Amino acid sequence: MRKMVFGILVVALSVLFAVSGWAAETVKIRMAGQSPMEHQATKHQFEFKEAIEKQSGGRFEIKVYPANQLGDYTQVYEEIMRGTLEMALINIPSQFDQRLELTYVPYLVENYDQVKTFFAPDGFIVRALGSIHEKLGVKLLGFNIEGLGGFATTVPVENAADPKAKKNVLLRVPPMDVFKLHADDLGYTTISVPYAELYTALQTGVAQGWSGGPPVLTYLSFRDVIKNYYQYNSHLESECWLINKNLWDSFSPEDQKMFMDVIAGLQAKSTEIAQQDDTEYLEKMREAGIAVNTFSNEELAALADYTRETTWPRLRDRLTPEIMDELAKQYQ
C-alpha cells in the first residue's frame, strides 16, 4: 500500500513539475562572434542573449564569446557543423561549399531598399543560402547587416564611374573569384594580400587600394593610410546568425519562433544602423581629409547592370547555373 501511495505521489509530482516548468532543463548555448566588444554586431549578440533568456523564463542560458575568442570564422563554422559549438554570428567561409559565396556576389544589392526586400526571410537569397547551410548541418537564422562596401585607395582613380574604363590602381581583393572577377571587369589590376597585412601593403605601395569594406570599417581601420574612397555599393558586408541544425530541430515550434522573431528584429535594426553608419562615416572620412566619391542612382544602376551582365555569367560554374539563373530573375 505504501509503495502504491509513493508511486502515485511520484507521478503526481512529475506531472506538476512538467506543467509548472520546474523540471525543465536549462539549455546552455555558447555563441561565438568575430567582432570586438564595441562593435554593433557584438552588441546585438548581447541583446539576443538578454531577449531569449527573458522571454524563455530562463530556460535558455546563452554565453557570448566575441572577438574570435573561440577561433576565427572558418573554425567556428566547422564546430557548428559538428555540433561541438551551438551558435555563432560570423562571416561565412566557403571551403565546405563554394555556393556559400553567394552572399559575396557583387551587386547582390545596390541600395538599402533592396537589402530589406531581398534579405527578407522568404526571399530567394535567404532560401538558397538556408538550403545549402542545412545540408552542412547548420541552420541559418538571419543576418546582421553592416554596410554597403566601396573601394578605398591611396591614389585617385581615373574614370571611376565608367565600368569599362581601364583603372590606374593596383587593387587588393580577397582570394575569392567573386571579388577578383568583379574588380577585373571594372578595369582594375588586382593583387591578393592577406587582410592582416593589408594596412602595411597600402602603406608601402604593395597595393594601392582595397575593395569591399563599408565606410565604418574603412574609417576605423585605414583612415591613416588611404586618401580616397569610392562608395560603389558593390558588396554587402554582413554576418550570419547560425545554429547547429540538430540542436535547432530539438527545439519546440514555439521556441523556434521565439528565436526567429528576436533575430528578425535585430536584422531590421542592424539594417537601419548600417544605413546611418554609412552616412556618418562618409562624413568622418571627409573630416579626416579623405576625398569621398559617391555616385548618382543612375551611375550605381549602370555599374550594377554592367556587373550583372559581365561578371555574373563568369560565376555560373562556381555558384551553379541554377543559383545564378534564379538570382538574375530577381532583377528582371
Residue 242 to residue 82: CA distance in whole angstroms: 13
Please report whether residue 223 resides in a domain: yes
Q: Evaluate whether 126 touches 140 at the Cβ level (below 8 Å).
A: yes
Residues in the chain: 332
Residue 250 is placed in which grid cell?
Answer: 530539438
Q: pLDDT-derived band of residue 176, with 50, 70 and 90 as boundaries? A: confident
Read off the pLDDT of each residue in 293-301 and give the average, rounded to a whole number.
95
CATH code for the domain in which residue 210 is found: 3.40.190.10
Tell me, yes or no, whether 190 and 131 share the same domain: no
72 plus 176 within the same structural domain: no
Once rounded to an integer, what is the mean pLDDT over residues 28-44? Answer: 93
* Of the candidate ranges 16-30, 124-138, 251-265, 270-284, the one whose mean pLDDT is the lowest: 16-30
Same domain, 177 and 251: no
CA dihedral 264→216→214→188, nearest 10 degrees, is -170
Query: Across residues 46-58, what is the average pLDDT?
Result: 98
Same domain for 35 and 71? yes
Amino acid making up residue 56: S
Of 20-24, 51-55, 167-171, the poorest mean pLDDT is in 20-24
CATH code of the domain in which 112 resides: 3.40.190.170
Give the CB-side neighbour count of residue 145, counting CA atoms within 13 A.
Answer: 29
Reported as a pLDDT band with limits 50, 70 and 90, residue 332 is: confident
Provide the pLDDT for residue 331.
Answer: 85
Q: Is 20 domain-assigned?
A: no
Whether residue 129 sits in one domain with residue 272: yes
Using an 8 Å Cβ cutoff, are 51 and 262 in contact?
A: yes
Give the residue numbers spanning the domain of 142: 27-146+238-277
d(CA 277, CA 295): 18
Q: Is the pLDDT of residue 13 over 90?
A: no
Lowest mean pLDDT among 13-27, 37-51, 113-127: 13-27
Question: In the prediction, which pLDDT does 196 show?
Answer: 83
Domains contained in the chain, number: 2
- Residues 222 and 244 reside in one and the same domain: no
User: Is 179 in the same domain as 310?
Assistant: yes
127 belongs to a structural domain? yes
In which band, very low, low, confident or very high, does the pLDDT at 24 lie, cut at 50, 70 and 90? low
Phi, psi of 93 (to 5 degrees): -75, 160
pLDDT tens profile 205-255: 999 999 988 999 899 899 999 999 999 999 999 999 999 999 999 999 999
Residue 48 sits in the same domain as residue 159? no
Work out the average pLDDT over 99-103. 95
Question: Is 202 found in the same domain as 304?
Answer: yes
Same-domain check for residues 138 and 161 = no
In a 10 Å sphere around its CB, with 0-12 CB exposed, 13-18 middle and 19+ buried, how is residue 246 labelled? exposed
Residues 152, 218: Cα–Cα separation, whole Å = 7
Confirm whether 260 is domain-assigned: yes
- pLDDT bin (cut points 50, 70, 90) of residue 6 is very low
Residues 230 and 248 in one domain: no
Domain presence at residue 37? yes
The cell numbers describing 155, all together, are 591614389
Same domain, 222 and 301: yes
For residues 57-65, give the mean pLDDT.
97
